[in-house]
Amino acid sequence: MIVLTDKTAIVTGSSSGIGRAIALRFAAAGARVILADLTEAALDGGPTTSALIAEAGGTALFCRTDVAVWAEVDALVGKAVADFGRLDVIVNNAATYSGTALLDTSEAQWAKVMGVNLTGLFHGCKRAVQQMIGQEPRAEVRGRIINLGSQQGIVTAPRDCAYGVSKAGAIYLTKQIAVDYAADLIVCNTLSPGKIETGAPGLPTDPALLDNARRRTPWPRLGRPDDIANAALFLASDLSTYMTGSNLVVDGGWLAR
């Protein structure tokens, strides 16, 4: 059993979908979880993530955060440290998409996707490293950063140029941080999901894209948020200490085909 007892973790985009599953899994493993999102309500319905964690006896704190704004990410990490003394793990999961090909993507759409998916990830990484670099190590590590990439940061993203570029950038930034701060005992990895059924409305439920994903995925089902949460728990734990700068793909065999 993997445990995160006495560890403090931030999960962005934690109100719904993959972020929600990661936060629940971390809390169940004993972590104190700071939930960061634009709204506490779940896009796919049901109780809030903080309510589910509290009901299970865990510890969670919701902080409304726009990751595209440095001051809000700065305050988020400051709140985590003020309340719990340190930051052991940050999961930069918050993301958005435009659902458009290159010629159909406006400057505003491009700016929004990059603002959340790439600048927001930059903010989370930078502020986390600022905090972690001065902490005492635990089991060789001062802190762990988990960035959410995507298989579509490795191969093309159908009808979503900006999203694919942003996720490719996330994979690169992870490698840079891992190399630059390994001597400071900071671990940084990317977690790249394949097609995950989250229940969120919009492009993720497009029948044509879902059909394509089912045909492309060798495993006899598409991914679930818990599949990604399980991998995130491993990356957040002491079991993955010698693993840094890696991109852990969880895609049911899509990229192997």
What per-residue string of b and e applies to 81-105 under the rule 16 or more CB within 10 Å gives b? eeebebbbbbbbbbbbbbbbeeeeb
Instruction: Calculate the dihedral angle through the C-alpha atoms of 61, 66, 69, 75, rounding to the nearest 10 degrees.
Output: -10
Tell me the catalytic residues. 163
* CA–CA gap between residue 20 and residue 52 (Å, rounded): 10
- Helix, strand, coil proportions of the chain in percent (round to 5)? 45, 15, 40
CB-CB contact of 51 with 23 (8 Å): no
Phi-psi domain of 45 (left: phi exceeds 0; alpha: psi -120 through 50; beta: other): left
Angle subtended at Cα 24 by Cα 219 and Cα 196, rounded to the nearest 5 degrees: 25
Classify 189 as helix, strand or coil: strand
